[in-house]
Chains A and B, each alone.
Chain A
């Protein structure tokens, strides 16, 4: 079945540094990928829609200059958290749809900013 791979699964960084998270669709091409954030004990909140070859579409309240999204190919989207702060600590999850099938989710990346 369709698989979405995320890397890294866990990262700790110092405040002020940047962190890049990769999301790959392993056996299908994804023109669109979605980035979600999940705070502890809360639901998944859509951050942005990543479109291959064009700019991402950000949800209201999500800073596009802080969360840089690049969708350079049909199988790879990256999320870069720039100048990370402790409040950015969260679980970041990407997902992609294989055609009209339900979304496939990556395993997520737990970001801890110290």
Chain B
């Protein structure tokens, strides 16, 4: 069965600090990987996704993630965070692109950025 592990439950940073959120998954086959963000009181938004090709994926708002197959990891990074990045971040995986395949989410990481 697929599973997703996010190492950091709560991360607190000052503005301009660099961010890296860990994500490891468990699945033996080809996977698609996603990072979603949920701002306070809002719904999920897709930050970035990896299907195939270049393992370094760039998303919206300056975020990027690197897929390291050998480590089963898909860590999220941002060189310089802003106060507006305060949100909940979810890593998700699904083992295939078929329409009937659901995403499995990690438990999420709360990011708090102080100004």
Contact = CB atoms under 8 A, between A and B. Distances in A.
B43 A106 contact: yes
B46 interface: yes
Contacts, number: 47
B102 interface: yes
Interface stretch (A41-49, A61-69, A82-90): A41-49
A32 interface: yes
A102 B113 CA distance: 28
Interface in B6-46: 32, 34, 42-44, 46
B106 A49 contact: no
* Interface size class of chain A, counting residues whose CB lies under 8 Å from the partner chain: 20 to 34
A75 interface: no
A17 B44 CA distance: 29
> What is the predominant secondary structure among interface residues of chain B facing chain A?
loop
Contacts of B108: 42-43
A39 to B, nearest CB: 11
A49 B105 contact: no
A105 B45 CA distance: 8
A102 B99 contact: no
Given A105-B44, A108-B43, A44 B90 contact: yes
A105 to B, nearest CB: 5
A27 to B, nearest CB: 16
A103 interface: yes
Contacts of B100: 31-32, 49, 51
A103 B43 contact: no
A43 B99 contact: no
A43 B90 contact: yes
A13 to B, nearest CB: 21
Closest 4 CB pairs of A and B: A100-B97, A107-B43, A43-B107, A44-B105
19 contacts: A31-B100, A32-B99, A32-B100, A34-B103, A43-B108, A44-B105, A45-B105, A46-B102, A93-B43, A95-B103, A97-B99, A100-B98, A100-B99, A102-B32, A102-B46, A102-B49, A105-B43, A107-B42, A107-B43
